[in-house]
Amino acid sequence: MTGKNSPNVVVLDYGSGNVHSAVKALEAAGATVELTGSRARAMEADGLVVPGVGAFSAVMDQLNKNRSAEIIDRRLAGGRKVLGICVGMQVLFEHGVERGIETEGLGEWPGAVTELDSPVLPHMGWNTVDAPKESVLFAGLRDERFYFLHSYAAQQWTLEATHPFPEPRVTWSEHGTRFIAAVENGPLSATQFHPEKSGEAGIRLLRNWIGTLPND
């Protein structure tokens, strides 16, 4: 359901695939959604969603090529909400290491994205998460499962709270080893799983995020 009073969300179109399912899920969650690479529209929106599929290096190449990395940085500097999904979450860290190749990320959070230590990769399918009780994203979703599709993830969290933002809320999951499944850090949130592929639980999570938007 959408309407004139619905928060406006831009899904950033920078060349990543599989973006239309994210648009549909956000609309189902109650947002007015626009898929665009427009710098102006991305800056003006109440919320910005950064999707991502494929390799860390390929996503970073596209973000840098289209100067989309600047959009993300400028929004966050102004305290405006951003949500990263899957590789759109991974690139928020300092580095990604895939098949021995290290790629510089956006550096919003310290740490590296590395291969999961599991006999079965990719991690594909439904899994539970361990969210902190203060989580806004996972409010009412404590026992739900979410859909993952990845072989790499951030597996450590070292960022401490900095004024004026509250303590980062980090959600974990496990596939062979423990990894970060979601982060809520001031205006910046992200999920390693795909809420747009996670059925009603994913829609409710997106609705929780949309509920934090200013609705200018």
Kindly indicate the confidence band of residue 49, based on its pLDDT and cuts at 50, 70 and 90.
very high
Domain-located, residue 183 = yes
Point out the catalytic residue in the list 86, 108, 175, 184: 86
Tens of pLDDT, residues 170-206: 999 999 999 999 999 999 999 999 999 999 999 999 9
Tens of pLDDT, residues 99-148: 889 999 999 999 999 999 999 999 999 999 999 999 999 999 989 999 99
Range of the domain at 96: 8-210
The average pLDDT across 158-165 equals 80
CATH number, position 145: 3.40.50.880
Q: How far is CA 95 from the centre of its chain?
A: 16
Domain-located, residue 149 = yes
Q: Is 123 a catalytic residue?
A: no
The pLDDT of residue 57 is above 50:
yes
Q: Is 196 a catalytic residue?
A: yes
Domain-located, residue 215 = no
- The total number of structural domains in the chain stands at 1
What per-residue string of b and e applies to 170-181 under the rule 16 or more CB within 10 Å gives b? Answer: bbbbebeeebbb
Burial zone of 51 (CB within 10 Å; 0-12 exposed, 13-18 middle, 19+ buried): buried
The pLDDT assigned to 171 comes to 98
The pLDDT of residue 4 is above 60:
no
Give the whole-angstrom CA distance, residue 97 versus residue 55.
Answer: 10
Domain-located, residue 2 = no
Listed in order, strand segments (DSSP E) in 176-213 are: 177-185, 188-191
Domain-located, residue 110 = yes
The pLDDT assigned to 216 comes to 56
Whether this model's pTM surpasses 0.85 = yes
Q: Is 98 a catalytic residue?
A: no
